[in-house]
Amino acid sequence: MLAKVEKAFKELLTCLQTAKMYGTMHPMFQKSLDKAYAAFEDVLAQRQEMVIGIVGDELAFEKEILFDLGKLLRSAILYLKERNIERLAFYSGLSKEELGKFVGLLAGPKEDFKTDPQVLLVHIGVQNISIGKLKVDGRKENDILAGNQLELYNSSMDRVSQVLSSVLNSEKIDPLGLKFSLNNIIDSLGTQRQELLKLATVKRYDAEIYVHMLNVSIFAMYFASRLGFEKNDILDIGVAALFHDIGKLYISRKTLHKPDKLSEQEFNRIKSHTVLGAEFMFEYVDSLGILPVVVSFEHHLKYDSSGYPRMPLLRKQHIVSSIVAICDVYDALSQRRGYKQDYSPDVVYNIMNKDRGSAFDPELLDKFFRFMGFWPVGSVVALNDGSIALVKDENESDIRRPKVEIVFPKDKRRLVDLIQDNSLSIERYLNPWKEGREYLQLA
């Protein structure tokens, strides 16, 4: 595979040189474009995408810094860097026409790249290539390339809070930038799924509601990808999920966080976040599409339509609203799991399954837990032999018996697949903020 990637990249550079020498209308260019495209097809026939990054002066493929291709490549790297390109992703479905347009763009003057290069690509109709910077706010490039999910989560968090506050102030938003950063999350869900989901289940911030919205978006994109949605749809679902509670930001914190029983009026006020949110998102239909409107409006409607807002005519939830509704409740309950001791994953599972068929689409709910696992990745659990383990990966065939790593006692350290080792089982969950805390560091 590495050799194929290397070949594709070399052909791309040759093609670029030809374009610079002869222009893109010359038969020579067509010839080298044919060759380059064949090399890309070769790679993309075997994988969904090919992501190349520039770190320092090296070229990297996925997590590894790969090849030292000598002086020719050095100037190419410089060429790309001058155009603010540090990351190139090519997706399966790439057409020769798109590749040709992309090379044509690259061959142009570097002044063309003063604006966000991704915008340029979209402008000329190239969908299956994305380009941009690796670096986020001067954070270490190596960290991001090495798949540092915390960086990714944090930078997405920044982007999310920015976008949300723009929507609240009825300002213009940058839909492309938003999609680009959610796209990074999708990329990571492919290879670094555990790490990222762990962050969404364990990592907590002060800005509770922003965290909630980003988490729901991450869960929804992961869920949608496992359900087999196309990448473009996953992205749209992620965007819709991100804004599902936007209406809440307009309701006073006092009402939202009131510990005592709410008056009917207060409760109605909270319920209105659905309609309010839909109204907000309606302003962005042109750039973000209709899904955010639908999902804001429907995410509390419930599967059997018994929720709110009440509708004069029976209306069934859109499937994306059903997906978001599951992720929404899951995150809300899991947040309680973070701080309080009362909601361990088994409790969350039981609470949600009580509403199977009423609040939640039963089939979707089953699938959700099959993909997420009963004990989420990153959980600290006590086993029946008294050892302590971290959950590493789910087993879809038996969601209660994941793959775990025993971390304590130290001399027992090892990976165990609970499906294979029947003598061991999970006895109980340790709260990561309390008793489980010391074991998290042993990971």
- Contacting positions for Fe ion (CB under 5 A): 245, 328
One-letter amino acid for residue 402 of the chain: P
One-letter amino acid for residue 331 of the chain: D
Distance CA 369, CA 403 (A): 15
Tell me how far CA of residue 181 lies from CA of 40, 168, 187, 266, in angstroms. 24, 20, 10, 36
- R_g (Cα) of the chain, nearest Å: 24
CB of 323 to Fe ion, least distance (A): 13
Tokens (6 digits) for 263: 């008056």
CB of 108 to Fe ion, least distance (A): 45
CB of 13 to Fe ion, least distance (A): 47
Place of tokens 């910077």: 133
CB of 320 to Fe ion, least distance (A): 14
Q: CB-wise, 247 or 432, nearer to Fe ion?
A: 247
Q: State the DSSP H helix or E strand holding residue 67, giving kind and residue range, or none if neither.
A: strand 64-67
Q: CB-wise, 89 or 209, nearer to Fe ion?
A: 209
Extended strands (E) in 105-255: 129-132
Q: CB-wise, 195 or 245, nearer to Fe ion?
A: 245
CB of 305 to Fe ion, least distance (A): 16
CB of 250 to Fe ion, least distance (A): 12
**What burial class does residue 7 get, using C-beta atoms within 10 Å of its C-beta: 0-12 exposed, 13-18 middle, 19+ buried?**
middle
Tell me the sheet residues that pair with 406. 389, 414
33: DSSP letter: H
Q: Are 426 and 380 in contact (CB under 8 A)?
A: no
Q: In what order do the strands lie in the sheet with 49-55?
A: 64-67, 58-61, 49-55, 87-91, 129-132
Within 8 A by CB and 6+ apart from 407, the residues are 388, 389, 390, 413, 439, 442, 443
Q: CB-wise, 187 or 328, nearer to Fe ion?
A: 328
CB of 240 to Fe ion, least distance (A): 12
Q: CB-wise, 18 or 321, nearer to Fe ion?
A: 321
CB of 287 to Fe ion, least distance (A): 22
Tokens (6 digits) for 382: 């006590």
Q: CB-wise, 327 or 404, nearer to Fe ion?
A: 327
Place of tokens 């990329």: 187
Cα atoms in the Cβ-side hemisphere of radius 13 Å centred on 278: 14
Q: CB-wise, 105 or 213, nearer to Fe ion?
A: 213
CB of 120 to Fe ion, least distance (A): 36
Cα atoms in the Cβ-side hemisphere of radius 13 Å centred on 16: 20
Q: CB-wise, 198 or 300, nearer to Fe ion?
A: 300
**What burial class does residue 378 get, using C-beta atoms within 10 Å of its C-beta: 0-12 exposed, 13-18 middle, 19+ buried?**
buried
Q: CB-wise, 180 or 330, nearer to Fe ion?
A: 330
CB of 273 to Fe ion, least distance (A): 6
Q: CB-wise, 6 or 245, nearer to Fe ion?
A: 245
